[in-house]
Amino acid sequence: MNIAPIRTACRILFVIAALFAYVCAIIPQRPEIFGSDKDNHILAFFTLAFLARLGWPRRQALWVAFALVGFGGFIEISQATPIIHRDPEWNDVFADCIGIAGGMALGQLVLGFYRRFLARG
């Protein structure tokens, strides 16, 4: 069984999800997709981390996590610009980290099961 189609699909979905998360973060009226603002951050970064882990399975998980934390920081810095008119909250980056940890963990579990399945033949 070839992992390349799954990896490619996860990469495409990751780019779409990252663009969606960024646009939702910088539009003037904050959308409430799923509960509170912190819930939205956790859900968005859980999704991004999961897709990134499956999309780039050969990358070290720690580097993927650092890149996603950097993306979360970039979102907050973007919100601090006068053009956006949004209030940055550094607690959002903490919520991002919670989502990243969960998404990376689930992604690692899925990769482990998939690799075991491939090892069996």
* Domains: count for the chain: 1
51: pLDDT strictly greater than 90: yes
More confident residue, 3 or 46: 46
pLDDT given for residue 83 in this prediction: 85
What domain range includes position 81? 4-120
Nearest to 50 by CA among 7, 105, 1: 105
Task: Look up residue 75 and give its two tokens.
Answer: 């979102």
**CA-to-CA separations, 55 to 34, 36, 78, 92, in angstroms, rounded:** 25, 28, 26, 25
Residues 102-114: tens digit of each pLDDT = 999 999 999 999 8
97: pLDDT strictly greater than 90: yes
Burial classification of residue 105, based on how many CB atoms lie within 10 Å of its CB (0-12 exposed, 13-18 middle, 19 or more buried): middle
Task: Give the SS3 label for residue 59.
Answer: coil
What letters, b where the CB count within 10 A reaches 16 and e where it falls short, cover 44-83?
Answer: bbbbbbbbbbbbbbeeebeebbebbbebbeebbeebeeee
CA distance 9 to 17: 12
pTM above threshold 0.85: yes
pLDDT given for residue 1 in this prediction: 60
